Amino acid sequence: MNQKEILEFAKEAEISEEESRQYFLKEEALEIEEQKALKPLFDWLVLPAVELGAGMGDFTEELLQKYIKITGKLYAVERLDTTAARLKERFKDLRLEVLQSDSTSLPLPDGSAGLVISRMALHDFVSADGDVAKALADCIRVLAPGGVFVVYDKIKDGFADVETQSAEGRMERMNVQLAAIEGKVCWGLHLLEHYIALLGKLGLKDIRSSGLDVPDTPGYAGIMSKTLKERRPAYVKRWGPEAGKLIDSVLEDFAKIPPKALPRMIVWGLKQ
């Protein structure tokens, strides 16, 4: 946290400098709790780790800085070729190898990884049938016996109706609706019990979980409203006029939904 970040966020969220400072303090506390939960899963690693859905590499950077040993190895898996190319440009760390692939067919030998982790990705998983277990089966193949599969994601526990009680929950619902326009299925937000059941379906044992409380984001609806308005042309170009109507609906809902954050859960299990 630095003063520049505090002031920039205060301006973006249209809140006071002190409110912004308090938010950053809570975020720092969350990062500490995240490390406490994840570090023990990486400390014992001898074989490489695999990150699913690396995207632009923000979590990749965290993994390299905080969790992967100096002598360790990390495979960052990214489906899109352009994004994979950016990852290769961004990181010059010899411990990292970027794989352009998806979870259904990893270019790694059987039993070659000690840990596979998916962070903030499964709730956005889109496929023709929505079968997440089938899509993750190859991730279990590359795990060595005793290896760990980790899901770190948003959950909707604690909400009676997440879409009307959390602006973030409403935003996540939009991804489900956009996928439906294309005739596809987005897995969407789920309860902790569903993630535990998923890991059980994958054949993992000794399944455990650790919950993280996430601070509410001041000005969340305002920030996301600006973002959606900027993205409208691109959304309409990709998904057609229905996407524009969907954005209007979300913007209308944002006006009456509180900025309650979704909790996060780290769930992991062992391959026998």
pLDDT digits (tens, 9 = 90+) for 182-240: 999 999 999 999 999 999 999 999 999 999 999 999 999 999 999 999 999 999 999 99
pLDDT at 98: 96
- How many structural domains is the chain composed of? 1
136, part of any domain: yes
Query: CATH no. for residue 130?
Result: 3.40.50.150
What type of residue sits at position 214?
A: V
71, part of any domain: no
Q: Where are the beta strands (DSSP E) in 120-235?
A: 126-127, 143-154, 185-186, 205-212
Task: Name the residue range of residue 202's domain.
Answer: 3-43+103-158+186-216+262-270
92, part of any domain: no
Question: Cα 55–44–134 angle (5° rounding)?
Answer: 45
Instruction: Read off the DSSP letter of residue 64.
Output: I
Question: Cα 210–99–83 angle (5° rounding)?
Answer: 90
Question: Using CB atoms within 10 A of its CB, is residue 187 exposed (0-12), middle (13-18) or buried (19+)?
Answer: buried
21, part of any domain: yes
17, part of any domain: yes
Are 186 and 175 a contacting pair, CB within 8 Å?
yes
Q: Which residue positions in the chain have pLDDT lower than 70?
A: 1
68, part of any domain: no
23, part of any domain: yes
Helices (H), 44-131: 58-62, 81-90
36, part of any domain: yes
pLDDT at 1: 64
